Structure 1
Amino acid sequence: MTGKINVGIVGGAGYTGGELLRILLNHPFVNVAFVQSNSQAGKPVWLTHTDLLGDTDLVFSGDVNLTPALSVNEVGSSDESVGVDVIFLCSGHGASVTFMEENDVADDIMVIDLSADFRDEHDDFVYGLPELQRERIQEATRIANPGCFATSIQLALLPLAKAGKLTDAVQISAITGSTGAGQALVPTTGFTWRNNNVSIYKAFTHQHLAEIRQSLTQLEPDFKAAINFVPYRGDFTRGIMANVYTPFSGTREEAEELYRTYYETHPFTHLSDAPVDVKQVVNTNKCLLHLEVHDGQLLITSIIDNLTKGASGQAVQNMNLIFGLPEDTGLRLKSVAF
């Protein structure tokens, strides 16, 4: 590719919009054409995303430019200042459906939605979990980016479903950082409440359960058992750790071979021989998995950063696939580690 992909961001003032900007401003094949925000229109982007001071002179726009830059087959050959090739929808849940209803988005403008609005794949959206359906994503024009908890849990279970080894109920205990709740201040995201505190929310009823089951039954249609999910709010800002267990008749070595085989062509999901911790993945697009077998139960620990692999990083991964770029372009990010 000799030119740039012209990108527009709708709803760019929140956590996912800011994380998307951090990645795209350093992506070798991207030109950020506009960043829209209703609340911050006319203000420099760095006033909201203060870590971007010195990195960009972009100003939030109040309007959305939906002029197509060029067809997907011609990407890289046009004037970067005109129109867009892809838009990312980073507004809250429900806003993306409204946006698509109120705007005539041309077929040759790719749409990647980071909300939950199209994850059931209606209106020609494709569920954007590359480790599940990379080939469909490559041919898509509309992508529904997966949820953060859903990403970590599905990556823990896809190899079992593919092998037809989900034979009983799945038990999940998972904890997420405060950024998973979005930027709007509510009592459970404020420092005074969240610091030195842990709590359960939406036990057995979390909204990501629907997309998890949708994906598992895509690989294993006969899977009808319960998925028992207890989510926790953690007293940290970024990251997810999901501990998933289910009956398994084999050894740890057999499970590891199953997982390594499934993920051998996927650049971001890796099996660890040693136990994993959240700091290993913060600020990266990685998912790290660790397996143990105890008394006929396979325990899978899955860790991701909720804002990168769980949101904006995965959205860029999907963009790369759509435009024929190597999947990891612009996404070789180092973790904070300590």
Structure 2
Amino acid sequence: MRQSKIRVGIVGGAGYTGGELLRLLLNHPAVELVFVHSKSQANKPIYSVHTDLFGDTDKVFTAVLTPDIDVVFLCLGHGESQVFLQANSFGKAVKIIDLSQDFRLKKEENVFVYGLPELNKPQIQRAQYIANPGCFATAIQLALLPLAAQQVLPKSIYIQAITGSTGAGQGLATTSHFSWRANNLSVYKAFTHQHLGEIRESLNQLQPQGQLAIKFIPERGDFTRGIFVHAIMESTASLTDLQMMYASYYATHPFTHFSKEAIHLKQVVNTNKCLISIEKHQNDVLITSAIDNLLKGAAGQAVQNMNLVFGLDEKMGLNLKASAF
């Protein structure tokens, strides 16, 4: 049993993901938050940026890194984590959990473990460095992993997924502006989204089959949080067999649940859950999955990985309830 608290640092704490991580870690019973690094907000109170934390912490952002920590979370923009680690170093015992896409893909020099617990839990428990999965990638992989594990994933899959505006980050952009986003819907990066690489690698890890044809259409939705995925494919397996396949695969994973009833987005928003349901019409199969993009798709999964690395209860600090009305 671990006696002392885990000493934690956050780099890039001023964005949406950093804020969500702060909300979790400030209430985590096994964590001591040592520093929250932000060059742009240095010396300002954390609650001046994350106003919902007013009254919860008097800590300030800092531009100084404290070396005496157990784990550091990198909540930097894509491409920035690699640059940051080239310019800064931590002790050999310090765990690093990176929430960018910089270390997700397999390369000979990459020492990061891909941090999807439903796929790599034993490797995560032994890891020094963890690459947290992308939000779309998490929702899509969890929708498909049981099929790959049984070697019955078809070679061609159509996926439509819609995400909330927080998925675009805190920086101002035309497509995240309220006047543009409200009462609106749009497709972006059709067939080319950056998460496709990590999705293919994970599925090939369970069912090696070369280049999987994933026809992925991402959409921007008129809401702030959540990802809702529809995966459509052909299968001769019965609905009962598919349901048993999914229930069995996720039986030992506390955050991913198979539902025989249709699911909806509000069931998972503000939680670290993924919910999955299946419909079948003749040989056409519809798999639906839903997550909160800032929690199971980012900060919540990062804390889940931290819990696994330090031998804690996987659900510690993550017993969050959705507001489904």
Match of 2:185 in 1: 198
**Which consecutive unaligned segments of at least 5 residues does structure 1 have?**
68-82
Q: CA deviation at 1:245?
A: 1.4
- Between the aligned partners of 1:193 and 1:325, the Cα distance in structure 2 is 43
Query: Is it true that 1:126 corresponds to 2:113 in the alignment?
Result: yes
2:89 to 93, 104, 108: 104
1:206–1:229: 8 Å Cα contact kept in structure 2?
Answer: yes
SS in 1 for 2:266: helix
Q: CA deviation at 1:143?
A: 0.3
- Between the aligned partners of 2:89 and 2:293, the Cα distance in structure 1 is 31
Partner amino acid, structure 2, of 1:118? F
- Identity fraction in percent: 59
1:156-215 CA-to-partner distances (Å, cap 9, x unmatched) read 000000000012301100000000000000000000000000000000000000000000
2:185–2:220: 8 Å Cα contact kept in structure 1?
Answer: yes
CA RMSD, Structure 1 to Structure 2 (Å): 0.9
**Aligned runs of 1:1-338 on 2, under 5 Å?**
1-65=2-66, 67=67, 83-122=68-107, 123-222=110-209, 224-338=211-325
1:170–1:226: 8 Å Cα contact kept in structure 2?
Answer: yes
- Between the aligned partners of 1:329 and 1:180, the Cα distance in structure 2 is 25
- Between the aligned partners of 1:2 and 1:336, the Cα distance in structure 2 is 34
1:121–1:144: 8 Å Cα contact kept in structure 2?
Answer: no
Q: Which runs of 4+ in 1 moved over 3 A?
A: none
- Between the aligned partners of 2:61 and 2:155, the Cα distance in structure 1 is 50
Q: CA deviation at 1:277?
A: 0.9
- Between the aligned partners of 2:166 and 2:136, the Cα distance in structure 1 is 12
- Between the aligned partners of 1:59 and 1:274, the Cα distance in structure 2 is 45
Q: CA deviation at 1:106?
A: 2.1
Range with bigger deviation, 51-60 or 113-122: 113-122
2:243–2:260: 8 Å Cα contact kept in structure 1?
Answer: no
Q: CA deviation at 1:326?
A: 1.0
Range with bigger deviation, 102-111 or 9-18: 102-111
Q: CA deviation at 1:223?
A: 5.0
TM-score calculated relative to the size of structure 2: 0.98
1:112-153 CA-to-partner distances (Å, cap 9, x unmatched) read 000000001443001000000100000000000000000000
**Which consecutive unaligned segments of at least 5 residues does structure 2 have?**
none
1:167–1:223: 8 Å Cα contact kept in structure 2?
Answer: no
SS in 2 for 1:309: coil
- Between the aligned partners of 1:330 and 1:104, the Cα distance in structure 2 is 28
- Between the aligned partners of 2:228 and 2:133, the Cα distance in structure 1 is 16
- Between the aligned partners of 1:162 and 1:224, the Cα distance in structure 2 is 17
Q: CA deviation at 1:246?
A: 1.3
Partner amino acid, structure 2, of 1:96? S
2:11–2:37: 8 Å Cα contact kept in structure 1?
Answer: yes
Range with bigger deviation, 178-187 or 243-252: 243-252
